[in-house]
Structures are given as C-alpha cells and as structure tokens.
C-alpha cells in the first residue's frame, strides 16, 4: 500500500509540473534557470571574444562565422547566444556581399539564406536582445523571418 501512495504522489507531482509548463507558453532563449557548466561557459566566451575580434577588427567574416557556428552548435545554453547568432547572421550577409578580407566558399544565395536563418532564430528566441532591432531590419531586407520549420538554427552545408 505504501508503494501505491508513493507512485500516486509522484504522478501527481509530474502532472502538476507538466501543467505548469503548458501554461507558460513558448520558452524564449536559453532558460535562465538552467545551471550552466562554468568551464563550457568560459570556453564559449573565449570563442565569442575571438569571433568579435575577427568580425570587428579583422573583417575576417569567414573566421568569425566559424567561431560562432561552433558556439551555436556546441553550447545551446550559452548566456550570450544571441550575440553569437547576430555575428553569424552578419558574417553570412557580409560574405554574401563579398565584403571583408576573406572570400566566401559557398554561394551568395546560400549565405543570405543562412543569414536569414540566424536572424530569424535571434528574433524569435531572444525578444529582449540588444541585437533584435538590427536583426529585424536585416530580416525585412532578406524577405522576412523564415517559417518555424526552417528556422531551427541548424544551417545545412
């Protein structure tokens, strides 16, 4: 009999927690309640600092894009993911326009599509981001946000 009560209490607690999740709606960006691994956060921050340097100082957009794509793929709970998405979008866009010191290795159309994917994800997942306004402006020039099914944040090769 004791085991039955424990199971009932566990099921009730599970149902209660799931009910609470349904009421909160769509989560926006990394959950602030998520405990971040300090070492992974430090590594991601280092990659972001290097990407910022490539992006702002060197105009090496391919190198910046490579660094932030590593962050986006490997650190989904990174506290500065919105900035990584912004740099990815802008680097893709600048490469599509043949700006910077590095030549693009993929087509301009693919780079513009990638930029649209990154900006769409930034706008949807980070409504309070400092980068949102510019991302929205860029998205308008690129044809608007991508439909949900296409904006998973995964950019195909």
Number of Cα atoms under 13 Å in the Cβ half of residue 149: 0
Alpha carbon distance 5, 154 (integer Å): 45
What is the domain partition of the chain in residue ranges?
Answer: 37-150
Number of Cα atoms under 13 Å in the Cβ half of residue 139: 21
- Domain covering 37-150 in this structure, CATH number: 1.25.40.10
Alpha carbon distance 125, 140 (integer Å): 17
**pLDDT (tens place) for every residue of the chain, 157 residues total:** 565 554 544 444 444 444 444 444 444 555 666 778 899 999 999 999 999 999 999 999 999 999 999 999 999 999 999 999 999 999 999 999 999 999 999 999 999 999 999 999 999 999 999 999 999 999 999 999 999 744 444 444 4
Tell me if 139 sits within 8 A of 116, measured CB to CB: yes
Look up the pTM and report it: 0.75
Alpha carbon distance 113, 75 (integer Å): 22
Distance of CA 121 to the CA centre of its chain: 6
């Amino acid at each position: 009999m004791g085991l039955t009560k424990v199971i009932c209490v566990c099921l009730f607690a599970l149902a209660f927690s799931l009910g609470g999740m349904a009421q909160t709606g769509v989560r926006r960006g990394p959950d602030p309640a998520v405990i971040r691994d300090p070492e992974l956060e430090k590594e991601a921050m280092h990659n972001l600092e290097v990407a910022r340097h490539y992006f702002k100082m060197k105009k090496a957009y391919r190198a910046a894009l490579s660094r932030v794509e590593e962050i986006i793929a490997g650190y989904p709970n990174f506290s500065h993911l919105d900035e990584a998405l912004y740099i990815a979008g802008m680097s893709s866009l600048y490469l599509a326009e043949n700006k910077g010191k590095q030549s693009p290795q993929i087509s301009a159309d693919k780079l513009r599509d990638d930029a649209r994917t990154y900006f769409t994800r930034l706008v949807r997942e980070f409504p309070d981001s400092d980068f949102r306004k510019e991302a929205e402006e860029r998205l308008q020039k690129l044809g608007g946000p991508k439909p949900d099914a296409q904006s998973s944040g995964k950019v195909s090769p």
